[in-house]
Amino acid sequence: MTMADYKMEAAEKACQLIQANQSIGLGDGTTILYLVQLIAADKALASTLSFASSSTKTIHRLKELDLTIQSLSDLNHLDLYFDGCDQFDQELNALKSGSGIHTMEKIAASMATEFILLGDSTKYVARLSHQYPIVVEIIPAALATIQARLSGSYQAARINIRDHVNDRGNYLLELTLDPLPELKLLNTFIKMLPGVVDHSLFYHMATKAIIAGPAGIKEITPSV
């Protein structure tokens, strides 16, 4: 099987969790787009659902399929939130570093009764690694001071500023740490720096993961 086939298998398993009349949150990535496709194919179910997304690509696809979309700003609850990630570990801590929309993704995830990670089995690791940076969204006025604080606190840190601001006019800083410090402390330290909006480490947020690979489809719950 190809990686695309594994992602479709994970999406098919996720689709089975959705019930009529639910509000569904969706993140970004190929597996999520497969899930949207599968939901839309079940017209009876899809007609009862409402959707919200942190991703412009996903919203565009929902519109193409004429599915009911709500703005995250109008909601305070989602039944289920599905998203992909770059890596996740045994405790379902996840890194979502690619798209830089982690702030909106965390808002959506925090609304959900269940936050479910989807993807192929290569995403699952025993411990998160430095393969992917932690992306930090920063208010412009705080950029220099946050760079200095991070460099001073993590001597071996590699810091890169992405060459564009996001749609809120904020900078995205990539922080690579090898090895990663204790995740609980890292999560809190970065989040509490004045001027940080949020970062791409999803610490103890997901309630379940669904992965597919050569060994089949697995549902994983946090080990703690």
Q: What confidence tier does 156 reach under pLDDT thresholds 50, 70, 90? A: confident
pLDDT band at 224 (very low <50, low <70, confident <90, very high): low
Contact yes or no for 117/83 (Cβ under 8 A)? yes
pLDDT for position 99: 75
Which pLDDT score is estimated for 187? 98
Q: Could you tell me which of 208, 221, 217 has the C-alpha nearest to residue 12?
A: 217
Cα–Cα distance, 98 to 111 (Å, whole number):
22
User: How much is the average pLDDT of 83-96?
Assistant: 96
33 touches 57 (CB < 8 A): yes
196 pLDDT band, cuts 50/70/90, is very high
Task: With beta carbons less than 8 A apart as the criterion, state whether 137 and 171 touch.
Answer: yes
State pTM to two decimals: 0.95
- In sequence order, the β-bridge partners of residue 112 are 78
Give strand pairing partners of 135: 174
State mean pLDDT over 68-92.
97
The model's pLDDT over 107-153, given as tens digits with 9 standing for 90+, comes to 999 999 999 999 999 999 999 999 999 999 999 999 999 999 999 99
Q: Residue 67: its pLDDT value, please?
A: 98
> DSSP assignment, residue 101?
-
Is residue 9 pLDDT above 90, yes or no?
yes
Q: Say whether pLDDT at 8 is over 90.
A: yes
Looking at residue 154, what is its pLDDT?
94
At a CB cut-off of 8 Å and minimum separation 6, what does 112 contact?
25, 77, 78, 79, 80, 81
**For the CA atoms of the chain, what is the radius of gyration?**
18
Report the chain's terminal Cα–Cα distance, integer Å. 32
DSSP 8-state assignment for residue 77: -
Task: Look at residue 175 in the predicted model and tell me its pLDDT.
Answer: 97
